Amino acid sequence: MTETRSVAVEREIPHPPEKIWRALTQPHLIEEWLMKNDFNPVVGHQFNLRGDWGGVLDCEVLAIEPNKALSYTWNFAHDDAAYNLKSVVTFTLTPTSSGTLLRMEQSGFRPDQKQAFGGAQAGWQKFFANLEQVLARTD
């Protein structure tokens, strides 16, 4: 058994869960804050997240609870073990008096994957900032 680490980001967002859910599950909105994709909100659906620089992640939808929770794999295949990532991203949405508490946890970083772990910490800050901008300018 290998111990793994998680990156978690949690933010209070002044929009209802239904609106955030759309941004998390509609491909054209996902593209705006995360990456190009062929996401489909169906358990077992396999999809890719594609970076503008030619890289691609292999993903599969694991769990969906509309407006409440979404989970998918976030895998990156590479010959070098330090870069070969098998992780799971889980979003949970909790309604609050003023909007939604959105939590993201990415689990599965092995202790020898410090660079990927540090990258994810920085990356999710950017992705969340992008997401809040998308939410601010959409209905």
Binding site for its own copies (CB under 8 A): 35-36, 48-57, 74, 76-80, 83, 85, 87, 115-116, 119-120, 122-123, 126
Give the DSSP letter string of 118-136. Answer: HHHHHHHHHHHHHHHHHHH
Identify which of residues 14 and 51 has a Cβ nearer to its own copies in the complex. 51
DSSP at 116 = H
| 44 and 75 Cβ atoms separated by less than 8 Å | no
Closest approach of Cβ 96 to its own copies, in Å? 28
Closest approach of Cβ 17 to its own copies, in Å? 25
Identify which of residues 62 and 101 has a Cβ nearer to its own copies in the complex. 62
Angle at 21 between CA 10 and CA 8, to 5 degrees: 20
